[in-house]
């Protein structure tokens, strides 16, 4: 019977062996790693590989799927999409039904298009799909995926506890901010910083504010904008020691804000800001009244405000909307930035987005850059700006000031901004 061995980063057929997987006690990796694979030998190999790296491994053939858990948000599921009589979609649904809040890595011998579709299915189920790999497995790529897991902001964990409303969080002072630098793709100078807003729940955990924004009223949204702008002013004060100029501001606008009754009270705050303001928009199709949103944005541009289209390439941020609204910046979604150096489809989407932005005389920013290969390919394609964990993860205010003071700052030129994401959507 053929066995598998990791040789030069690949799984190859070799002679049989009697490897035994023994979970390591006192593991350096929190949580459990479930290896869901129907092939006994591949399951044994993967289990051994993870165990050797300090994971507490549970090897799970299809017959044991219902016995997995109970789960912890630090758990990892490594899932083969083809499981004999069962398929990976069933397992993804099972994980969703059991409220799995850890990470998932998909593996399969199917073509890349099938694997990427399965990844999208997992996301549709509300799961955090960390990565997807095609067989034969490249263990160096698997290692790289695990590194991104260790770097992932804990606040991004899809844990869904009872969270305070926006009004409650603001009243209790439980709105916090983190910051991620954005660099010029050519010079690698700092040209902007993305500022991410989060709520702190009653037990001290940080969660995205996105859920709280949906039901927020005008007064709450206005107060959130005021708190965000106050925090931006603090950035300038922290930078005085090294003489770096305070950066301008871009505020990520939730879909319900671009209604006149919500937006009008915020305009004076923006206009009173001593630095230019850019407003980032993502879920355009979620607007209650698309015509009103267009009127609001156009009127704002005539008053000197600027708009950026976030998450370009997703269903809610398409080419049609980019052409219909007065955007002068385009942010390429990380779903297409990921593996753009290896995946021809992702590469083609990136090329299209860059060409479209430049044809419209707009600046384009690539979000979620995680590898040197991605960065070099994006720069080759002509992207203007880059951000992601390859350069820096989101930072505290103090860490941001130290980071900027140790890096060159691009001379003033439009557009240049500190981005304040009131939706709390990370942009690794």
Measure the CA–CA gap between 116 and 131, rounded to whole angstroms.
9
Question: Three-class SS of residue 411?
Answer: coil
**How many C-beta atoms lie closer than 10 Å to residue 32's C-beta?**
20
Measure the CA–CA gap between 308 and 287, rounded to whole angstroms.
16
Cβ atoms of 367 and 334 within 8 Å: the answer is yes
What would the two tokens of residue 156 be? 């991004």
Task: Give the pLDDT score at 420.
Answer: 56
Length of the chain: 428
Measure the CA–CA gap between 149 and 137, rounded to whole angstroms.
18
Measure the CA–CA gap between 161 and 226, rounded to whole angstroms.
27
Question: Three-class SS of residue 308?
Answer: strand
Residues 6+ apart with CB under 8 A from 237: none
Task: Give the pLDDT score at 388.
Answer: 92
Measure the CA–CA gap between 373 and 355, rounded to whole angstroms.
20
The Cβ-side half-sphere exposure at 254, using a 13 Å CA radius, reads 25
| Residue-range domains of the chain with CATH | 3-151 (3.40.50.2300), 158-421 (3.20.20.450)
**How many C-beta atoms lie closer than 10 Å to residue 64's C-beta?**
12
Task: Give the pLDDT score at 154.
Answer: 46
Q: How far is CA 317 from the centre of its chain?
A: 16
Complete DSSP assignment for 322-364: HHHS--SEEEE-HHHHTTTTT-HHHHHHHHHHHHHHHHTT-EE
Cβ atoms of 290 and 323 within 8 Å: the answer is no
Paired sense of beta strands 249-253 and 277-281, if any: parallel
User: How high is the mean pLDDT in each 10-residue block of the chain (428 residues)?
Assistant: 35 32 40 89 89 89 80 89 83 88 90 81 85 84 80 47 70 84 89 81 69 72 83 81 75 73 81 76 62 80 80 63 80 87 90 92 92 95 94 88 78 47 52
Instruction: Report which of 297, 330, 221 is spatially closest to residue 266, judged by C-alpha positions.
Output: 221
Task: Give the pLDDT score at 30.
Answer: 65
Cβ atoms of 300 and 327 within 8 Å: the answer is no
Residues 6+ apart with CB under 8 A from 70: none
Task: Give the pLDDT score at 3.
Answer: 36
Task: Give the pLDDT score at 367.
Answer: 92
Task: Give the pLDDT score at 305.
Answer: 80
């Amino acid at each position: 019977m053929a066995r598998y061995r990791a040789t030069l980063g690949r799984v190859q057929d070799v002679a049989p062996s009697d490897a035994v997987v023994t979970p390591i006690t006192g593991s350096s990796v929190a949580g459990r790693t479930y290896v869901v694979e129907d092939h006994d030998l591949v399951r044994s190999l993967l289990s051994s590989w993870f165990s050797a790296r300090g994971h507490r491994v549970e090897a799970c053939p299809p017959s044991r799927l219902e016995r997995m858990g109970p789960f912890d948000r630090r758990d990892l599921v490594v899932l083969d999409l083809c499981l004999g009589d069962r398929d990976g979609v069933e397992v993804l649904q099972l994980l969703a039904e059991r409220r799995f809040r850890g990470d998932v890595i998909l593996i399969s011998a199917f073509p890349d298009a099938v694997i990427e579709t399965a990844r999208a299915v997992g996301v549709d189920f509300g799961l955090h799909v960390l990565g997807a790999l095609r067989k034969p497995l490249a263990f160096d790529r698997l290692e790289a995926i695990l590194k991104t897991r260790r770097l992932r902001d804990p606040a991004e964990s899809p844990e869904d506890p009872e969270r305070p409303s926006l009004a409650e969080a603001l009243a209790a002072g439980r709105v916090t901010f983190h910051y991620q630098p954005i660099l010029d793709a050519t010079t690698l100078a700092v040209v902007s910083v993305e500022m991410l807003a989060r709520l702190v729940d009653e037990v001290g955990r940080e969660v995205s504010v996105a859920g709280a924004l949906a039901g927020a009223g005008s007064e709450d949204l206005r107060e959130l904008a005021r708190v965000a702008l106050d925090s931006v002013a603090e950035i300038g004060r922290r930078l005085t020691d090294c003489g770096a100029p305070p950066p301008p501001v871009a505020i990520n606008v939730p879909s319900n804000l671009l209604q006149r009754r919500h937006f009008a009270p915020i305009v004076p705050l923006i206009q009173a800001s001593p630095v230019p303001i850019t407003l980032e928009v993502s879920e355009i199709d979620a607007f209650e009244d698309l015509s009103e949103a267009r009127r609001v944005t156009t009127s704002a541009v005539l008053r000197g405000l600027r708009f950026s289209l976030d998450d370009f390439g997703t269903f809610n941020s398409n080419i049609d909307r980019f052409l219909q609204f007065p955007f002068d910046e385009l942010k390429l979604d990380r779903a297409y930035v990921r593996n753009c150096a290896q995946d021809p489809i992702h590469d083609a989407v990136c090329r299209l987005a860059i060409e479209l932005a430049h044809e419209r005389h707009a600046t384009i920013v690539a979000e979620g850059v995680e590898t040197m290969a991605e960065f070099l390919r994006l720069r080759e394609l002509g992207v203007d700006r880059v951000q992601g964990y390859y350069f820096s993860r989101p930072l505290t205010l103090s860490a941001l000031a130290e980071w900027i003071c140790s890096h060159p700052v691009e001379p003033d030129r439009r557009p240049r901004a500190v981005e304040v994401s009131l939706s709390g959507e990370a942009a690794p």
